[in-house]
Amino acid sequence: MNPTTDASSNARPRRTRHGVTSEVISRTLRRGLDKLAALQEADGSWKGDYGGPMFLLPMYVATCHIARHPIPAARRAEMIRYVRNVQQPDGSIGLHAEGDGCMFTSVLCYVALRLLDVPATDPDLARMRRWIHENGGPLGAASWGKFTLALLSLYDYEGLNPILPELWLLPDALPVHPSKLWCHCRQVYLPMAYLYGMRAAIPADEQIRAIRREIYPQPYESIEWRRHRDTVARADSYNPPTKVLWAANQAMALYEDRHPRATRRRAMEELLDHIRFEDQVTNYIRIGPVNAVLNTLVHHFREPDGEEARRSFVTLDQYIWDGHDGAKMNGYNSTALWDTAFAVQSILATPFADDYLPTLVRAHDYIRDNQVLEDVPHKERYFRHASKGGWPFSDRLHGWPITDCTAEGFKAAVALEPKMARPVPEELLRDAVRLLLSFQNADGGWATYELKRGPDWLELLNPSQVFGAIMVDYSYVECTSACLQALSRARLRFPGFLEAEIARAIRRGETFLRQQQRADGSFEGSWAVCFTYGTWFGVHGLTAAGAKGTDPAVERALSFLKARQNTDGGWGEHHSSCSERRYVKHPESQMVNTAWALSSLVRGGQGATEEARRAAELLIERQDRDGDWPRESIVGVFNKTALINYENYRRYFSIWALAQYARAGRWIPLPHHNP
């Protein structure tokens, strides 16, 4: 199981030419652990700033404005500070905090600042306006931007391609039925279709008319809206509309112009039923930030002072985060389960875990108490997979289980089990294993929340323009690797339990992973930047399935990494790796990339190499006096183009990699061993 530790030391502690001693590593780890422990929340979890995408905060502000939901003055000031902090020198706002020049987010952020009462004469707004005008104005904003503007009466519904409610009335066996979509895409277009169906918009008052004059380079009344349904600025055109999408839009427009009233009514009822279901099963948190605001608006437009609108605003508050750079809307209601599962595994990888027992007990209880215990009711009717035994990304109240969160939750729970007085009941661990098995796709891989339901060609109908790969829940390297690691752990923990099924699942998963490896030895990651992340999962997945360091696939993966090591010993991968789908160097080494690469080297049996030593040295050197690592570039990503910040990655991944390194090199006398 535990592959290839390649240490050949007998004398310890050792010292290298460069002065890494076991004392130095121990001190680094202890300081890092002290810092990590100090950051633990009262509920036992870790969580952090989950900002980055620049369309979320303005959508929240628009929602509050539409519903006349007050934002306290202090919070408004923090939101304004955030947008100013993220504004690029050319005046624009990027799709994400580190990007530049996106019409969608520049226009929405402009509008948000105005709605937050920043005057049009403000110099930052003047710069933003200039960029918007010079780049063609709001008619070129990506479709979600136009949709949000339409809700505010800053864009005309005639200028939107139809978002047909009737799609939900199609037979659900059809590949274009919404149930075949990736759940995040499905849950965004569901309330959008409802709001589109009712042409929801606030009346244009003086403030709105003023904003129209400011953002449009042409007179608002002169715009021929229908001609601009497909207009999109170059900057917003990562995924330009295909001919297939164009044809589908034409057909839908024909239908929209003469749709039967009764059918529309029936479709709207169907949508509302699905919207309410999502509200109930997530306790109004909703699967993500976008349907959180859109479902809120559905309730507001239906019944402004109703209970559903009121509850929606209460839970929306969870998404707002007071960050070091201002207040933002997070990409999820929290990162708690995910962060806690990794924090635990990093602590356990060090030789000092027993000194942090109270921390581990609290973390364990968070993990135990946030496992999902039930399937949602009527899951077939609402196109939901089983949930029982799974772990979510954030918490049990949110409730949508995710394949790799289940895997990491399981790994953490099993690793903690021997130390805990009240561990996760064995039957619930078995439920997690059953659920993981049920999530495996026909191609052998694992997707994110559900089985892969739609065909790949659905991507040709992706209407978002700014995002890639949103239509289908594909099998991913990361999810597959995490599930393989969990299943191989399950095999040890429960000998004989579902033995044949687990063995077969691991074999098929391993085959999928091997197929994903590129000719250059790398694995492409999808949920963080990018090839260092994917390769970290690739190597850990293959070795969990039984591959040794001498396996050619592992060797090739490590050669890929070694060829990209910087002279300072680190790795730095730029976020454009994700959109360009090739390794792009960051100008500076990044500690998170470095930690993934070092961890891969050690796991693949090359922990005693010069490359590993230099990487470890850099991680040690870059640690702050207080045990933290400095904040560097954002490394999380989704849908190829949008960066999202994982505030704790630099902490637990650095600790974890150094701990693995220390073990492999027998730098520190080891009291016990965790597989």
Residues in the site for ligand LAN, rule: CB under 6 A? Answer: 184, 188, 288-290, 331-332, 338, 393, 402, 404-405, 448, 467, 470, 478, 527, 638-639, 644
Sign, CA torsion 55/648/535/568:
positive
Residue 637 Cβ vs ligand LAN, minimum distance, rounded to whole Å: 8
- For residue 28, give the nearest of 671, 8, 19 by alpha carbon: 19
Residue 639 Cβ vs ligand LAN, minimum distance, rounded to whole Å: 5
What CA–CA distances, in Å, run from 381 to 30, 282, 392, 581, 640? 51, 16, 22, 38, 32
Residue 147 Cβ vs ligand LAN, minimum distance, rounded to whole Å: 13
Residue with tokens 């998963």: 509
Respond yes or no: is residue 404 known to be catalytic.
yes
Q: Which is nearer to ligand LAN, 386 or 615 (CB)?
A: 386
Q: From the candidates 404, 431, 473, 551, which is the catalytic residue?
A: 404
Residue 60 Cβ vs ligand LAN, minimum distance, rounded to whole Å: 13
Residue 332 Cβ vs ligand LAN, minimum distance, rounded to whole Å: 5
Alpha-carbon gap, residue 656 to 405, rounded angstroms: 18
Alpha-carbon gap, residue 456 to 466, rounded angstroms: 18
Residue 155 Cβ vs ligand LAN, minimum distance, rounded to whole Å: 20
Strands of 341-439 (E only): list them.
none
Q: Which is nearer to ligand LAN, 349 or 477 (CB)?
A: 477
Q: Which is nearer to ligand LAN, 470 or 615 (CB)?
A: 470
DSSP assignment of 623-645 equals --TTS-----S--EEETTTEEE-
The answer to whether the CB of 276 falls within 8 A of the CB of 188 is: no
Beta carbons within 8 Å of 136's beta carbon, 6+ residues apart: 103, 217, 231, 233
Beta carbons within 8 Å of 318's beta carbon, 6+ residues apart: 285, 333, 334
Residue 449 Cβ vs ligand LAN, minimum distance, rounded to whole Å: 7
Q: Which is nearer to ligand LAN, 390 or 521 (CB)?
A: 390
Q: Which is nearer to ligand LAN, 386 or 470 (CB)?
A: 470
Q: Which is nearer to ligand LAN, 482 or 561 (CB)?
A: 482
Residue with tokens 């579902």: 498
Which amino acid is residue 444, in one-letter code?
G
Alpha-carbon gap, residue 609 to 598, rounded angstroms: 10
DSSP assignment of 104-132 equals HHHHHHHHHHHHTT--TT-HHHHHHHHHH
Q: Which is nearer to ligand LAN, 44 or 331 (CB)?
A: 331
Catalytic residues: 404
